[in-house]
Amino acid sequence: MSGALLVFAKEPRAGEVKTRLCPPLAPAEASAFYACMLDDVLETSAAAATELGLAPHLYVTPSDACERLARRAPPGFRVRPQEGPDLGARMERAAAEVAAAGAAPLLLRGSDSPTLGAAECRAGLAALVEVDLALSPDPDGGYNLVALRRAVPGLFAHPMSTPRVLEETLARARALGLRSRLLAPGFDVDSFADLAQLARARRGGRTLPCPRTLAWLDARGPWEVGGSAG
């Protein structure tokens, strides 16, 4: 039995992605920025899946974008629509679908965390030797990587877009009898404040797995608002 890496993504459409960056970005600029992050995330995830022996899956919204994002993704991704009334339900349904085909363990990630690479995925898998669930926390109270020993019904049955997402997921895990662990923290890029974290990560000395994202920012100069890229 082999595991799977699930990436959750939106189609880059102006006015529907990275809206918290507008203003000062125009909707078309925010969409272009997200497209760079998405391409970086897909490339990094494909490489991580190969290195770690995981099957790559891409879960897409809206559903009519599956064919277009399948052409955008590196070879090997199985592309499926996200299904469910909210993000928690869509994550649970996708995990259950992949697990039903025999995949375990599972890594789930979004497309907003451009610095999350193979090392972080490897750490998530390593944690599952001792626990059932490992999460990489975000500063906003959520998380950017989920490592699961197996799919667990009900784990994400709570609101997902709140500052208590991490707290509530851990509480659900305890109620379901799961052992949990926190991984090293990461971050999503949703606002200009998050760009300051990206700038600090860039100055940290390691090569970040998001060359398109950094090149887009360098070319357009929004670092001045989010934090110096120096």
Bigger pLDDT: 201 or 146?
Answer: 146
Q: Is 226 a domain residue?
A: no
Helix, strand, or coil here: 59?
strand
What is the reported pTM? Answer: 0.94
Q: Which of 42-51, 127-136, 149-158, 214-223 has the lowest mean pLDDT?
A: 214-223
Which pLDDT score, from 0 to 100, does residue 113 have? 96
Tokens of 128: 């599952």
Q: Is 227 a domain residue?
A: no
Average pLDDT for 90-99: 97
Q: Half-sphere exposure of 2 toward its Cβ, with a 13 Å CA cutoff?
A: 10
Q: Is 22 a domain residue?
A: yes
Average confidence score pLDDT of the chain? 93
Judged on CB neighbours under 10 Å (0-12, 13-18, 19+), 165 is buried
Q: Is 33 a domain residue?
A: yes
Average pLDDT for 18-24: 91
Q: How many domains does the chain have?
A: 1
In whole angstroms, give the CA distance from residue 230 to residue 227: 9
* In the chain, % of residues over pLDDT 90: 84
Q: Which of 44-58, 109-123, 193-207, 212-226 has the lowest mean pLDDT?
A: 212-226
Which pLDDT score, from 0 to 100, does residue 203 have? 86
Q: Give the model confidence (pLDDT) of 134-193 as tens digits.
A: 999 999 999 999 999 999 999 999 988 899 999 999 999 999 999 999 999 999 999 888
The band of 229, judged by pLDDT with boundaries at 50, 70 and 90, is: very low
> Containing domain of residue 77, as a range?
3-192
Please report which helix (H) or strand (E) contains residue 61, including its range: strand 54-61
Amino acid 141 reads G
Is the pLDDT score of 64 beyond 60?
yes
Is the pLDDT score of 225 beyond 70?
no
Please report which helix (H) or strand (E) contains residue 72, including its range: helix 66-72
Q: CATH number for the domain including 110?
A: 3.90.550.10
Which pLDDT score, from 0 to 100, does residue 66 have? 97
Q: Is 205 a domain residue?
A: no
Q: Is 175 a domain residue?
A: yes
Q: Is 156 a domain residue?
A: yes
Cα–Cα nearest to 44, from 142, 110, 135: 110
Average pLDDT for 94-115: 97
Q: Is 202 a domain residue?
A: no
Tokens of 216: 């887009």
The CA distances from residue 184 to 138, 139, 164, 177, 217, in Å, are 10, 12, 18, 23, 25
Query: Do 8 and 111 form a contact (C-beta atoms < 8 A)?
Result: yes
